[in-house]
Structure 1
Amino acid sequence: MRMRHLRYFLIVAEELSFVRAAAKVHIEPSPLSRAIKELEIQLGVRLLDRSKGRIQLTCSGKAFREEAHRMLAFMEAARMRVLATSNGACSYLRIGLEDGLAQPRIAQLLARCREEEPRTNIRVVQLKPSDLFQALRYDQIDVGLTLTELDSDEFIQRLAWEERPAAAIPIRHPLLSLEEIPLSELLRYPLILSNPEQDAKNQKVVPQWLQEQQLPKLKIAEYATSHEAMMMLVSAGYGVTIGLESQLALYRHPDVIVRPLSSETPDVPTFASVLNRPFSDELQRFLIRMDAMGNKITI
């Protein structure tokens, strides 16, 4: 089985068109179709349903798409590890970050790891929450930092640290008369949330406790596709938004004021997730540093 066949298949599976897929890989549709047929012969299954004038993935094709992603990711990780070794690295650690998680503590933790272990090659990738746990399961990363809490024997989750939630409010807003904002007061006003199509759980901007407030009943003014767009809409007066205090501080806007939520609103935990198996020495040292940053020295 050739690596290029896997790449060809993934592009066809994405485009569901040999013409569009062929244009992406700069070959003619006929040899591309033959390459997929060779792959089907090797596997002994049909990956694509070509009937009715269109292409669709069969059940086998959907399963193989997932495996092809895993195989290519494994080969890329192997290539990067070998390259790092040739440049002087003796060990490696692969860290996954939940997409959109940009806490200053994470940057400090990564900087400390690089400073104290210069010969450990540390790779960082950003992943959607569901992809992060898949990457752990398929041994594509060693540890994932996430806001998503799981109840599963397959993974071990450790509390990394907790952060205060805060509200981003436009200037000249009635809520600015309060030093700390009660959640009940904040929810009287229209909210700007992350786009549900890009973030199905809204967990980067809207923590779990807000989801439990029955989101469909809240006043949603707009959905934003990024933190920058969210702050722009807040500054324009479309509504208010909620996030981690440290993250909102990274996206300062002159017409937006960040105020902490009142003390009855719970802190938002960040978890380190790993597979339930023995830790490597590099992962063990990473977790010790993480615990120290979270004022938790136990391991």
Structure 2
Amino acid sequence: MRIRHLRYFLIVADELSFARAAARVHIEPSPLSRAIKDLEAELGVCLLQRSRGRVKLTWAGEVFREEARRMLAFMEGARSRVQAAARGYRGRLRIGLTDSLAQPRLTRLLARCREEEPLTEVKIVEMTVNEMVKALDHDEIDAGFTVHPERTDGFVKEVVWTDRPAIAIPRNHPLLSLDKIPLEEVARHTLILCDPERCSGGYDLLRSWFCKYALPLPSISEYVSGHEPMMMLVAAGYGIGVGLSSQVALCNHPDVIIRPVTDDVPNIATFLTTLNKPRSDELNRFITRAQQVGELAPA
């Protein structure tokens, strides 16, 4: 079974069109179709239903899509590990990063890992919360950072640090008359909000606040993937933004003023999520360092 054929199949499964899939891999549709037929012949099953130019996955195709992803992830992991060994590393950690959590504390954590354990390679992979759960389950990552508060069976979430929420406000906005912004005032203004799919942790957390205080969810002018585009749109007057104080400070903009929320709004916890199973020594040390960086006692 050729790795190239697995990649071809996954692209066809994503596009559900041989023409679009062929354009992505820069070959003609005919050889792409033949490669998929060769794969089907080797497996002895029909992976795709082809009808009048339309393509649909069979149930066997749905199952094989997951297996193909797992095989490619395994091969990529093997390649990465061998290359890391050739560079002198003796250990490896694969860490998922969701909700655009490029925080200053994470920078300090990674720097400390390089200083204290230079022979362990730490690889950071950006992903959504749903992708993180699947990646942990398929052994594609060892742990993942998220602000999503929901607990999931089979997984362990440990708080590594907390942060205060902050409100990004355009200049000359009436909210600037307040030193601290209550949620009731936030609810009265149009929001620029993190994308519910790409940053589901932050999105769900914000919705839970408004639900807890029986406030209507404000109107949303734009969804963004992180703090930088949020600050740009706030500066342009599209609305106000809600973010982590440590991150909005990094995205300083001359036309945006940052105000803290009132003290009744809870801190935002950043969790490190792992499978509920014995962990490697490298991962235990990584979690301990993360908690120390966050000024929390190790669990």
TM-score (norm 2): 0.92
Q: Secondary structure at the match of 1:287?
A: helix
Give the C-alpha shift of residue 216 in structure 1. 6.9
Give the C-alpha shift of residue 204 in structure 1. 5.9
1:215 to 1:7, Cα distance in 2 relative to 1, 3 A: farther
Check conservation: 1:204, 1:243, Cα contact below 8 A.
no
Match of 2:5 in 1: 5
Give the Cα–Cα distance (whole angstroms) in 2 for the partners of residues 232 and 115 of structure 1: 35
1:5 to 1:128, Cα distance in 2 relative to 1, 3 A: same
Residue-by-residue CA offset, 1:217-274 (whole Å, 9 max, x unaligned): 4222333354333212211222111111111112111000011101000111110100
**Deviation larger for 229-238 or 253-262:** 229-238
Check conservation: 2:190, 2:240, Cα contact below 8 A.
yes
Residue-by-residue CA offset, 1:5-54 (whole Å, 9 max, x unaligned): 10110121222222332333343322321221121223232211101331
Give the Cα–Cα distance (whole angstroms) in 1 for the partners of residues 287 and 114 of structure 2: 14
Match of 2:189 in 1: 189
Give the Cα–Cα distance (whole angstroms) in 1 for the partners of residues 281 and 217 of structure 2: 48
Give the Cα–Cα distance (whole angstroms) in 2 for the partners of residues 139 and 101 of structure 1: 22
1:165 to 1:99, Cα distance in 2 relative to 1, 3 A: closer
**Deviation larger for 227-236 or 5-14:** 227-236
1:208 to 1:238, Cα distance in 2 relative to 1, 3 A: closer
Check conservation: 2:148, 2:204, Cα contact below 8 A.
no
TM-score (norm 1): 0.92
Match of 2:45 in 1: 45
**Deviation larger for 39-48 or 239-248:** 39-48
One-letter code aligned to 2:202: Q
The aligned runs of 1:9-24 (5 Å cut-off) are 9-24=9-24
The aligned runs of 1:248-259 (5 Å cut-off) are 248-259=248-259
Give the Cα–Cα distance (whole angstroms) in 2 for the partners of residues 155 and 205 of structure 1: 19
Q: Secondary structure at the match of 1:20?
A: helix
Give the Cα–Cα distance (whole angstroms) in 1 for the partners of residues 103 and 204 of structure 2: 12
Check conservation: 2:233, 2:239, Cα contact below 8 A.
yes
Check conservation: 1:231, 1:256, Cα contact below 8 A.
yes
Give the C-alpha shift of residue 77 in structure 1. 1.1
**Deviation larger for 27-36 or 241-250:** 27-36
**Deviation larger for 179-188 or 109-118:** 179-188
Give the Cα–Cα distance (whole angstroms) in 2 for the partners of residues 96 and 125 of structure 1: 5
Give the Cα–Cα distance (whole angstroms) in 2 for the partners of residues 211 and 42 of structure 1: 54
Give the C-alpha shift of residue 148 in structure 1. 1.4
Match of 1:268 in 2: 268
